[in-house]
Structures are given as structure tokens and as C-alpha cells.
Chains A and B, each alone.
Chain A
Amino acid sequence: MSLFIQQVLNGVMLGSVYSLVALGLTLEYGILHIPNFAHGALYMVGAYLTFLLATYLGFNFWLAMILSMIALGLIGVLVERLVFRPLMLESPLSSFIAAIGLIFIFVDGALNIFGPDFKRFPPTHTQVFHVLGITITFQRIIIVGVTVALIVLLHLFIKKTTMGATIEATAQDREGAQLVGINVKRVRMIVFALGTALAAAAAALISPIHLVHPGMGGPVILKAFVIIILGGMGSLPGAIIGGFIMGLVESLSGGYISTAYNEVFAFAVLVTVLAVRPTGLFGAK
């Protein structure tokens, strides 16, 4: 029983991270229609930035995370402006391939600069709680807590601010938004930056536990695509719920079946869903 609860908690933690990544991706792909396959690579860059700031510059973890989020936001702006904006009117395949190019640059760049080994964070938040026979580290609680906070902030931003309303309007009808005088280019920039910043947050949160290495974005990005396809492209709630479900499924199947195949399991689910409903669970024709 305690194994079960342990796995569930683990799943919730994983799910938080996946939610954040999926939120970022659904902002980029669902709302801006940019198939940013490099989202995982940017996630990895966020992890390395946080790691560097915390380790070599000795910044406090929170400060490092926030700085990394800002930095990734700026990198996101650059990427959107230089790579995806020119390809805006072309077929999605072009953006997809350009994203693959970005992956090569970031991942292999990291590989060359930092080497393939796993980097370890200096120990922070390692207090351990024992509750009902289960062990929880403080870091894990932080992950879930910060995720919830970020989700709430994002929700408030979209629903309560003018910029948020602008984003929603642009997402629904780009041309209409332009006619009403909305600066679509600026909206694109901001949404993309939000997406990458969320990825950075997710990476920063999970790195102390899962360590940092150049390939860390790979499995994450594929799962993120699975999540947003299943949860509905552009649906923020879908990304959140999907993220948690993914985390729980992975944790439970990993605990009870085997960890080697848990990726296969997630993709098998995706493939099955797409076979039955080729436009995704909530997709329209």
C-alpha cells in the first residue's frame, strides 16, 4: 500500500513537471501553430542555465530558477523571431524541420560544451518528511507547489489582464485580431517567450532530482506532444490534466511493470488514440 502511495506521489510530482512542459508546448503549438519540436531542447538549456547559476555563481536556487526563466524567455523571443517567424506562412513541415535543426544545435552544443555526463546540483531542500510510512523530500513538495503557483499565475494572466485577452483573441482568429489593431507579431513573441519560460521552470524544478544532461529533453518532448495531442491542442486545462495523467501512468507502470518500457507505454497509448481518432482526442476535423 505504501508503495502505491509512494508511486502516486511520485506520479504527481512527475505530472507537475510534465504539465508545465505541456503548457509551454500547447502555447507554442496549439495557439501559435508552431510545431516547436525543440521545446525539449530549450527545456534542457533551462536546466543547464539554472545549474550553472546555482553551482558556479552560487546563486540561491530560486534566484537561479527565475533568472533562467527570464533568460529562456529571451532565447524564446530570439528563436521565434529568427527561425519560426520567417517560416510562418510555409507548411508546418518547414517549421518542424527547422525545429529539428534547433535541436541539433542546442543538444549537440550542450554535449560538446558540457560533456555527456550527468550534472549534479548542490544539495538544496533535502529535508525529508516521513508521513504515514512514506518518505517525501522537500524538493518534491516544492515542485508541486511551484507548479500550482505558476498555473494559477498563468490563469490569472490570461483571464484577468488585457494582454491575456489579446492572446486569447489572437489564438481564436489571427486575421480578425489584426483587423482590430492587435499587434500579432508582439503577441507571438510574448506567447512563445511564455512557453519557453515555462519549460525553463519545469527543468529547474526537476533537475535537482533527475540531474542534468544533454539528452534530458528527448523523452520529455515526445511525452509533451502526446499530452497535448491527447488533451487537445491549445487547451490549457487539457495540457495540465494530461500532464498529471502522464506522470501518474508513468510512475505507476514504472513501479509495477518495468521502467524500460514505460516510454513505450506512453507512445503506444498515443498511437492507439490516433489510430482510433486521427485528429486527437479533442481534435476537430
Chain B
Amino acid sequence: MVLIMIIVAFTIPFFVSSRFILHILILCCIWAMAATSMNLIMGYTGQVNLAHGAFFGIGAYSAGLLILKLGIPFWPALILACAITVVLGFLIGLLALRTKGSYFAIGTMCFNVIVTVIIDSWEGLTEGARGLLGIPRPPPIPLPFGKEIAFTSVAANYYLILVSLLLTILVIYRIVHSMMGRSFMAVRGNEELAESLGMNAMKAKLLSFLISTFFAAWAGVLYATYIGFLSPEISDYHVTFELLTFCLIGGLGTMVGPLIGAFILTIISELLHGIAVPRMVAYGFVLIIIMIFLRGGIMGGARMLWLRLGGKGGR
């Protein structure tokens, strides 16, 4: 099933020539990467991390600045940007993870705001509200026999981003279905109990936090080099809330949930871009309804339906 979907995903550019559709799919993939990584710390480790958008932004800006101001080529810049973000994430995480529950949520949200304000105000470094312009696409990858993969076409970018998304999903999937993943979920279930069983909760939370930060940064770098233009809004807490919405609507704590949420909502919002539909207002209602009636999001609802129809599952 999964294999079929991957094959379909790879062959899409062959029978879809519309740049617009590919563009939307690219955005979907970028947001799906960010949402999937957020799901690791929020859904599987149970920590309400509201600084995620900030790390997306830091990754994006780091890459943009490294490429534009220091002339560093794309691939090293990608690695460096992720590294910088993870280091910052480590410092922030070390501080923030000392708090729990709602305090952690508020604390990380404050960090998110701080980061956005800094990006906005430190004009010498980031060009502030004017934004960073002209971030180039990745340079061509040379192949044997004198050929190369050039990133001038939308399709080429699509593949790069699709591969990144699949790698993200693969890594997070492996983590979630491992003993490490089990300890994350133990911390989510009951931190005190997990500690009594010998698990270092702080270390687990920090590790989960850092992994999710890494992939958020990567998604940010892809965003920066694809769109080519950055402004402080991309690290704003609105971005964090949108990613949260994607995860919730799709189903927090499932692998597929963030993907569904990201794809559906990004497509909807891009299609309705021209129309003056208050999309955030709709998001708001949907969020509340989901919280009250359908806690597990679409995946949760699907699972309940599956069980109701007599499928196997818990007894």
C-alpha cells in the first residue's frame, strides 16, 4: 500500500505538467516534513512544543544567510543550517524542558516570539522586515557521463523535496517503532512511572526535541531555497499553530496524521487563496470541534470507524 503511494508520488511529475499543481505539492511536502517532525515531540513524546515554527525559521534564515552572505554552497549550507538550529534547539530545550505541561507550552511559545522579534529587529543580520531576497535554488548535481540534475525546473525541486520528506518519514518511523520510541511514549504516558522504570525522562525529551528540531530546520532550508524569499513571518507563532492544526486534524501521535493534515489543509488554503474565505476562522472552528468530538483527528476517527466495523484491534 505504502509502496504504491511512493511510486505514485514519484511518477506524478510525469503525467502532471501543471507547474501550479507541482508547486502546491511541494509546499505540501515541506509542511508535511515540518508537521511530521513536530509530531515526534508533541504526539509521541507528549510535550506541547510551541517553538517549532521558530526552528523552521531559524533553519530557513541560517541557510539563506549562509548562502547569500557567506557564499557557502547549498549542500554544506543545508548541513550547517541544520547544525546551527540543533545547537540552538539544544540550548532552548535544556532550559525549557525543565518545565512541564502548560508551563512548557507557554515557555516555548515565548521562545518562539523572542526568535521572531529578534529576526525582525536584528536588521544588520537578517534584513529584518525587508526580508531576505534572492536565495538561489540548489546548484546542479553533476552526474556521470557529463549529465547533471539541474534545479531550474519545478519538477526537479519536487523530487528533492519529496525525497527529503520520505527520508524524514523513514527516520521518524524507525524511531517511533523502536525501543527508543517506546521510551518516548512512556514519558508521554506517565513521566514519573517512566522514571521509576529507569528511563531518564529529561534525556528522552531532549533527544526527541532535538530530532524534531533537526527536521524542522531541514524543511526550513528547503523552503528558503525553493521560494527564494524569507521574511520574519515564517518563524512566527502562527506558523507553529498552523503546524499544530495539521497534526491535530490529521491525528496527533500517528505517522500518517500530520501528512494528511498538512496535505489537505495546504491544498485547501492554496486553492482558496484568491477567494476571501476566512480560512483561519474555519481552522478555529475545526480545532474546537476536533478537540471536543474527535480528539484523535481524522486518523483517530478512521480507527474508531474501523473498530466499529469489526476490524481487529484492542479488545
Within 8 A of A (CB), among B33-52: 48
Complex contact B278–A112 (CB within 8 A): yes
Residue from A90, A93, A109 with most neighbouring chain B CB atoms (10 Å): A93
- Asked whether A121 is an interface residue with its Cβ less than 8 Å from the other chain, the reply is no
Partner of B288, one of A83, A278, A280: A83
Complex contact A270–B284 (CB within 8 A): no
Q: Which residues of B contact A122 (CB under 8 A)?
A: none
Summarize A's interface: helix, strand, loop or mixed: helix
Residue from A35, A90, A96, A106 with most neighbouring chain B CB atoms (10 Å): A96
A64→B100 CA distance, assembly (Å): 41
Partner of B291, one of A101, A105, A106, A280: A101
A271→B276 CA distance, assembly (Å): 39
Instruction: Count chain B residues whose beta carbon lies closer than 8 angstroms to a beta carbon of A.
Output: 38
A94→B292 CA distance, assembly (Å): 8
Q: Which residues of A contact B285 (CB under 8 A)?
A: 101, 105
A261→B128 CA distance, assembly (Å): 13
Complex contact B288–A102 (CB within 8 A): yes
A278→B241 CA distance, assembly (Å): 24
Q: Which residues of B contact A104 (CB under 8 A)?
A: 241, 280-281, 283-284, 287
Within 8 A of B (CB), among A63-112: 83, 86-87, 90, 92-98, 100-109, 111-112
- Tell me the number of A-to-B contacts counted with CB atoms below 8 Å: 115
Complex contact A98–B95 (CB within 8 A): no
Chain A interface: which size bin? 35 or more
A182→B194 CA distance, assembly (Å): 38
A106→B285 CA distance, assembly (Å): 10
Complex contact B291–A87 (CB within 8 A): yes
Q: Which residues of B contact A279 (CB under 8 A)?
A: 99, 103
- Asked whether A18 is an interface residue with its Cβ less than 8 Å from the other chain, the reply is no
- Asked whether B160 is an interface residue with its Cβ less than 8 Å from the other chain, the reply is no
A19→B301 CA distance, assembly (Å): 43
Complex contact A101–B107 (CB within 8 A): no
| CB proximity of A75 to chain B, nearest CB, Å | 15
A268→B107 CA distance, assembly (Å): 10
A111→B118 CA distance, assembly (Å): 25
Q: Which residues of A contact B117 (CB under 8 A)?
A: 260-261, 263-264
Besides A93-B101, A268-B114, A278-B100, 12 other A-B contacts (C-beta < 8 A) = A100-B244, A100-B287, A104-B281, A104-B284, A104-B287, A105-B285, A229-B106, A260-B120, A264-B113, A270-B106, A270-B107, A271-B110
Question: Top 9 closest A-B pairs, CB basis?
Answer: A104-B284, A101-B287, A105-B284, A108-B280, A267-B110, A101-B288, A101-B284, A278-B99, A260-B121
Q: List B residues at the A interface (Cβ < 8 Å).
A: 48, 95-96, 98-103, 105-107, 109-111, 113-114, 117-118, 120-121, 241, 244, 248, 276, 278-281, 283-288, 291-292, 295
